[in-house]
């Protein structure tokens, strides 16, 4: 019987080199059909987690399990199969600026399938329609706004009907309206396609609004808390409160450790 979790991170430890461990003994489960957000401050290892799921790197110890298969990045056939089932929305979109909107969305279909051009056209227009941009198919990337670019990248990420869609900072650099549109799209596409979505971000309100489950991560990949958005919003844990309410000071200090002010300014009597 398939597990309820599409992805399991099982006691994963990882560092880019021996000097520093980025994720230390992290265990997490991402449930099928749900939107899960991993929230955490800059540098705590969120993107690294996505790279481990995408098979860019292998853990130093522990396992990453995708739909019951333990990932082994040396197994080219397995990784090819797994990557084909993943859609990834990178930070800042990474669209091909010299191609049209249409050709950007068609790109993965032309690369990974032998579908006839007429069918590719229908799929591309359907995906663009899903993000509200069917009418923009003929535009060049240089002609579209940042918010539109994000939606085009999303249409491209779902072109091959992925079972898992991973979003790396989908709200970064967007104005409030575009942010709201992007957030609703993540939710709508998840529900319409039956995919599983994983969002990593530090935008608390957007993630709280669209997620079924929220994980709060701190330095070293330490899981501070996880639960439904309501659980976390209602939490009385000072570290959770500081994070979800954006309070500048709390268990995580505003000031980097420093000598006393009076000592630094030489005014101690
Ligand atoms: N390719 C790399 N080689 C070496 N160190 C890296 C590499 N990529 C990231 N790091 C380091 O790993 C740590 C975690 O980075 P990561 O990008 O996973 O964090 P993050 O939580 O996604 O942060 P942000 O929100 O700023 O993107 C950082 O200290 C970063 O400098």
Question: Strand 213-218's sheet: what is its strand order?
Answer: 86-89, 164-168, 196-201, 35-40, 213-218, 222-227
Share of the chain above pLDDT 90, in %: 61
Q: Which residue has the higher pLDDT, 117 or 257?
A: 117
Nearest CA to ligand 1 atom 29: 43
Tell me the Ramachandran region of residue 132: left when phi exceeds 0, alpha when psi lies from -120 to 50, beta otherwise.
Answer: left
215 CA to middle of ligand 1, Å?
18
> At 244, is the pLDDT very low, low, confident or very high (cuts 50, 70, 90)?
confident
Residue 228, pLDDT above cutoff 60: yes
Residues with CB under 6 A from ligand 1: 16, 22, 40, 42-48
Out of 83-97, 147-161, 193-207, pick the least confident.
83-97
Q: What angle do CA 191, 125, 201 make, to 5 degrees?
A: 45
Q: Is-contact 181 147, C-beta < 8 A?
A: yes
Average pLDDT over residues 228-235: 94
Residue 97, φ and ψ in degrees, nearest 5? -75, -20
Percent of the chain past pLDDT 70, that is, above it, reads 93
Assess whether pLDDT exceeds 60 at residue 235: yes
Nearest-atom index, ligand 1, CA of 44: 21
Say whether pLDDT at 267 is over 80. no
With a CB cutoff of 8 Å and minimum separation 6, the contacts of 92 are: 169, 172, 173
Provide ipTM, 2 decimals.
Answer: 0.93
100 neighbors 140 (Cβ within 8 angstroms): yes
pLDDT at 54: 92
Predicted local confidence at residue 112, as pLDDT = 87
pLDDT(65) > 80: yes
Ligand 1 centroid to Cα of residue 45, in Å, is 6
Probe target for ligand 1 pocket from 46, 216, 219, with the most ligand atoms within 8 Å of CB: 46
Domain boundaries, the chain: 5-265
Strands 213-218 and 35-40: parallel
Instruction: Express each pLDDT in 157-179 by its tens digit.
Output: 899 999 999 999 888 888 888 88
- The protein residue whose alpha carbon is closest to atom 13 in ligand 1 is 43
Q: What secondary structure letter does DSSP report for 71?
A: P
Task: Give the pLDDT score at 255.
Answer: 65
CB-based contacts of 182: which residues, under 8 Å, 6+ apart? Answer: 147, 150, 151, 154, 170, 171, 174, 206
Give the global pTM.
0.86
State whether CATH 3.40.50.300 applies to domain 5-265.
Answer: yes
Mean pLDDT for the chain? 89
Judge whether 213 and 228 are in contact, CB under 8 Å.
yes
How far apart are the C-alpha atoms of 92 and 173, rounded to whole Å?
A: 8
Protein residue with its CA nearest to atom 2 in ligand 1: 16
pLDDT for the residue numbered 253: 66
pLDDT tops 80 at residue 247: no
Residue 224 CA to ligand 1 center (angstroms) comes to 19
pLDDT band at 1 (very low <50, low <70, confident <90, very high): low
Residues 132-143: tens digit of each pLDDT: 899 999 999 988
* Separation CA 190–CA 195 (nearest Å): 5
Structure tokens belonging to residue 60: 């130093």
CA 243 – CA 30 distance, rounded (Å): 21
- Bigger pLDDT: 269 vs 196: 196
Q: What share of the chain is helix, strand, coil (3-state, %, to 5)?
A: 40, 25, 35
Query: Which tokens belong to 212?
Result: 């079924």
Q: CA-to-CA distance for 203 and 103, rounded, in angstroms?
A: 31
Furthest-apart CA atoms within the chain: distance in Å: 82
Protein residue whose Cα sits closest to atom 4 of ligand 1? 16
């Amino acid at each position: 019987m398939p597990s309820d979790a599409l992805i399991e991170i099982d006691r994963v430890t990882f560092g880019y080199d021996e000097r520093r461990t980025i994720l230390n003994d992290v265990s997490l489960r991402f449930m099928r059909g749900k939107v899960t957000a991993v929230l955490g401050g800059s540098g705590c290892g969120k993107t690294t987690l996505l790279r481990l799921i995408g098979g860019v790197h292998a853990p130093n110890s522990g396992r990453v399990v995708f739909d019951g298969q333990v990932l082994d990045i040396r197994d080219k056939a397995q990784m090819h199969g797994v990557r084909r089932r993943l859609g990834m929305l990178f930070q800042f979109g990474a669209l091909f600026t010299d191609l049209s909107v249409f050709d950007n969305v068609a790109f993965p279909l032309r690369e990974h399938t032998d579908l006839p051009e007429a069918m590719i056209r229908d799929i591309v227009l359907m995906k663009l329609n899903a993000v509200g941009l069917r009418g923009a198919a003929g535009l060049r990337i240089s002609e579209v706004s940042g918010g539109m670019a994000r939606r085009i990248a999303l249409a491209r990420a779902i072109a091959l009907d992925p079972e898992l869609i991973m979003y790396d900072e989908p709200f970064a650099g967007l104005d409030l309206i575009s942010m709201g549109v992007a957030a609703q799209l993540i939710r709508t596409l998840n529900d319409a396609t039956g995919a599983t979505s994983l969002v990593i971000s530090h935008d608390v309100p957007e993630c709280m609004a669209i997620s079924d489950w929220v994980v709060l991560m701190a330095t070293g990949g330490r899981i501070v808390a996880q639960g439904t958005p309501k659980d976390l919003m209602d939490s009385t844990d000072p570290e959770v409160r500081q994070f979800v309410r954006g309070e500048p000071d709390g268990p995580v200090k505003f000031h980097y450790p420093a000598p006393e002010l009076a000592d630094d300014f030489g005014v101690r009597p």
